[in-house]
């Protein structure tokens, strides 16, 4: 009997240790104060610097913090999560100004100045018009059929592997295409498709592939997580990217610049996947030089009078102006500008790494989909179709094809 008690005690200690794993979050001062007030909790502040702070929290607190930010600012993200204080301290020290970790290089600044905001090309329009709503819809339906795509769940891993398989299938006739799984320190991998260009200069189109249900997910050992179909957040973005890949792959165009399509893991718990990737791809010894990064996170809920909204914080004004011109030239819908007020999606990881980023969004912040992070984030909230997301697929294609012109 004594042995049984000792075994039970050991199991209990082990389970508590699993639950009480520490995370170190880099978060804006104002956001941290709001979160602690809303949760009526006091988190240990390890460091203050550059308008941000490092707070030490339990892993279970990460979801609570994510949900407070979601319901207050009506968007995801809002902080960066690290496994150690050392990593978090280095990151906060590198934040020379809030919202931008590394200044844009002169080469990237010059690249932005050279973007053509006037010329329209018939051959680009003809390819843009090849994007089909039905393909986006079917991909949303498939991804939202998983119980969830949470970054620590098996279904989250399965969904990432399905995306990799799908991207391989639609690029199988291109010798310049390569799909890889990018492993992290957690279960779910990110997915990266590279289409090799004539230059080692590169552009990125990405969106997060994970989903979350902040109300029902329990962090205790052995649970599989709450039902989080995530049709809009962010099956819609991944489905939009998948249709962009299909159309471009079928065009047989050899790109001037290398193109990376990315499905980021673990966005919902602190932009973890994109943070890893952006840091890796901007190392001084990287094989490629990322010139711009475009983010698709929620593309299918038509909540506003205009069709596309460009997020104006943690983004490049020059790149946003360029995207606005692409919408006018090739998508021909009304567009506007809105803001998050904080680092609300993976574009912030690139911006903080010194890469000009942009984030076209589905609605004005106040009109966004209120069903995300719940079991009600299903395609029916968008009337069962992907008409709205089609506008973003066209924009993404115009972005690739127009940047493909020699400059």
Residue ranges, comma separated, of all CATH 3.30.70 domains in the chain are 19-94
Query: Which among 210, 243, 267, 289 is annotated as catalytic?
Result: 267
Give the model confidence (pLDDT) of 41-56 as tens digits.
888 888 888 788 899 9
Task: Give me 329's structure tokens.
Answer: 């030239």
Cα maximum dimension of the chain: 81
Find tokens 């006739």 and name the residue: 173
* Portions of the chain given CATH number 3.40.630.10: 106-403
pTM value is 0.87
Catalytic residue among 67, 201, 210, 297: 297
Active site residue 362: no
Pairing of strands 22-28, 44-49: unpaired
User: Of 70, 74, 347, 373, which one is the catalytic site residue?
Assistant: 373
Sign (positive/negative) of CA torsion 104, 106, 111, 113?
Answer: positive
Percent helix / strand / coil, the chain, rounded to 5: 45, 20, 40
Rg, Å, the chain Cα set: 21
Annotation says 388 is catalytic: no
Q: Is 373 a catalytic residue?
A: yes
Class level of CATH domain 106-403: alpha beta
Does residue 230 or residue 340 have the better pLDDT?
Answer: 230
Average pLDDT over residues 147-163: 96
Catalytic residue among 70, 147, 208, 388: 208
Catalytic residue among 67, 233, 289, 402: 233
Name the pLDDT band for 30 (thresholds 50, 70, 90).
confident
Whole-number Å distance between alpha carbons of 270 and 279? 15
Catalytic residue among 268, 289, 362, 377: 268
Tell me whether residue 47 is one of the annotated catalytic residues.
no
310 beta partners: 337, 360
Contacts of 1 (CB under 8 A, 6+ apart): none
> How many CB atoms sit inside 10 A of residue 161's CB?
14
Dihedral (C-alpha) 264, 74, 310, 51: value to the nearest 10 degrees? Answer: -80
284, pLDDT greater than 50? yes
111-136 per-position pLDDT tens digit: 999 999 999 999 999 999 999 999 99
DSSP letter assigned to residue 287: S
Residue 346 appears among annotated catalytic residues: no
Is 130 marked active-site? no
Residue 235 has a CB neighbour count (10 Å cut-off) of 33
Q: Is the pLDDT higher at 366 or at 330?
A: 330
Fold of 19-94: Alpha-Beta Plaits (3.30.70)
| Cβ atoms of residues 176 and 253 within 8 Å | no
Q: How confident is the model at residue 6 (pLDDT cuts 50, 70, 90)?
A: very low
Region 4-15: mean pLDDT is 40
């Amino acid at each position: 009997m004594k042995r049984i008690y000792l075994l039970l005690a050991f199991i209990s200690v082990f389970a508590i240790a699993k639950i009480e794993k520490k995370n170190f979050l880099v978060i804006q001062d104002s956001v941290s104060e709001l979160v602690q007030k809303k949760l009526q909790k006091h988190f240990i502040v390890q460091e203050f610097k550059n308008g941000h702070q490092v707070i030490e929290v339990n892993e279970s607190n990460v979801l609570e913090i994510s949900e407070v930010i979601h319901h207050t600012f009506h968007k995801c993200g809002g902080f960066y999560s690290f496994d150690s204080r050392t990593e978090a301290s280095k990151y906060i020290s590198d934040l020379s100004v809030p919202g931008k970790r590394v200044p844009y290089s002169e080469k990237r600044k010059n690249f932005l100045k050279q973007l053509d905001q006037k010329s329209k090309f018939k051959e680009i329009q003809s390819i843009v018009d090849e994007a089909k709503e039905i393909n986006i819809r079917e991909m949303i339906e498939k991804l939202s059929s998983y119980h969830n795509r949470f970054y620590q769940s098996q279904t989250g891993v399965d969904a990432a592997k399905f995306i990799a398989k799908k991207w391989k299938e639609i690029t199988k006739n291109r010798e310049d295409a390569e799909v890889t799984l990018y492993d992290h320190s957690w279960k779910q991998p990110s997915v990266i498709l590279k289409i090799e260009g004539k230059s080692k200069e590169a552009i990125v189109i990405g969106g997060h592939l994970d989903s979350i249900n902040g109300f029902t997910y329990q962090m205790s050992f052995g649970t599989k997580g709450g039902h989080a179909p995530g049709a809009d957040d962010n099956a819609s973005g991944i489905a939009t990217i998948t249709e962009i890949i299909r159309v471009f792959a079928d065009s047989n165009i050899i790109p001037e610049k290398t193109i990376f399509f990315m499905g980021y893991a673990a966005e919902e718990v602190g932009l973890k996947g994109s943070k890893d990737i952006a840091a890796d791809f901007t190392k001084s010894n990287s094989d490629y030089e990322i010139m711009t990064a475009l983010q698709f996170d929620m593309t299918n809920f038509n909540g506003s009078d205009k069709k596309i909204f460009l997020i104006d914080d943690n983004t490049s004004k020059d790149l946003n102006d360029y995207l606005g011109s692409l919408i006018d030239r090739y998508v021909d819908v009304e567009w506007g500008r809105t803001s998050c007020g904080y680092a609300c999606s993976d574009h912030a990881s690139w911006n903080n790494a010194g890469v000009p980023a942009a984030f076209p969004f589905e609605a004005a912040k106040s009109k966004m989909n209120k069903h995300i992070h719940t079991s009600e984030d299903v395609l029916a909230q968008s009337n069962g179709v992907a008409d709205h997301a089609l506008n973003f697929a066209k924009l993404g294609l115009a972005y690739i094809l127009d940047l493909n012109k020699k400059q």
